[in-house]
Structure 1
Amino acid sequence: MAGLDVLLTERDRAVLELHDETLTRVAGFLRNTWGPVILPEESIVRLVTASEWGPAVARCISTFGFPGVGTADGGERLDFSGVQVSGPRENFEIDVATYRCYARYPVRTRIDEGVRQVEAPWAFAYTRDTLLPCLLADGHPVPPLPSRTEFGDGWRTDDAFDAYAAIIDPADRLRAAVRCPAPLDVLVAAIESPEGSRAAAP
């Protein structure tokens, strides 16, 4: 799906911008804590999903001499309770190691307004050109498609356009969603695919 491939590249760029903003905040926190330290620049190893992030960063931190970092919340948070450190020097070193490992593994599944705006035009086109025709071809009623702007405003919110809203029977709705998947389902599957998490966008 060529349009989806283009979207994923554009989306990855937006995610990396968000990642850079996060690193800037973390660097500011470290400098507020430890003074005007020089932090090394790190190359991105790969983009990861939220559940992959914790294990990847924990393994990375262990390579800097701090084994024992665990994960919590399905891999989305780090647990440092098993790490043994002694004194300010080691506390500083683990903070720097954590920063370096954060830098190496951007979270591809992150969402902010910039990422949402990148996704919305593709989602609108997919809904108009693929999803609604698929539902109609299978004999399902479909609601009127909102304008591009209205669709985009609702994308990934509680007010998102529901292409299956006119399908009353829950079983029919489920079958329709399998046969004619929603744009968010298609997008999430592509983002979380092994191929999608191997490398960052150029």
Structure 2
Amino acid sequence: MFTGIVEELGTVVALDRGTDSARLTLRGPLVTSDATHGASIAVNGVCLTVVEHGDGEFTVDVMAETLHRSSLGALAPGDRVNLERAMAASSRFGGHVVQGHVDGTTTITAREPGERWEVVRFGLPDDLAPYLVEKGSITVDGVSLTVVDVTDGSFSVSLIPTTLDLTTLGHKGVGDPVNLEVDVLAKYVERLLATRFAPTEVAR
């Protein structure tokens, strides 16, 4: 599990595509400082398993489902990525519950600079719209953010200087893709309500 508090801006070293998978190598001295084989590291919000590591770099395998569901397949050497190690049980919970299971992708549709912050608007896929509420939580490229507003087909967030400086969201432009993970609690509530209020068959 993760919290959506990015620890490090990493760099893509290589992306080797296979027929239905890929092997991704990234540089991230901080997140690899205590890495072990099998450790979990979120890359732009995608939970991936370390298969090799050393000299400040680590390698992960990316399966077809992940390539389909996320923007990782569009990465190229030199691209910057948000990195976060799995949360330790003794850590402070600074963001919200983030699984690293991307629900879909979207693009940035607008950026509005403020005095010390920036309002960024994103497209909102129809299938994810029910899970977003004003002042609720959303994960964008692995960054835990608070939703400012939700409209038909879009939502916005406000980025403080720290987020602009220390994550990829400060460097992306209109049209750039991002990964989305909605609040898992909303999905559990939906499932529980659907089960509880599902129509029952009348005995004959």
Q: TM-score range by the shorter chain?
A: under 0.3
| RCO higher in structure (CA 8 A, sep ≥6) | 1
TM-score (norm. length: structure 1): 0.25
Instruction: Please identify which structure carries the higher strand content.
Output: 2
TM-score (norm. length: structure 2): 0.25
Mark the structure with the bigger radius of gyration.
Answer: 1
Instruction: Please identify which structure carries the higher helix content.
Output: 1
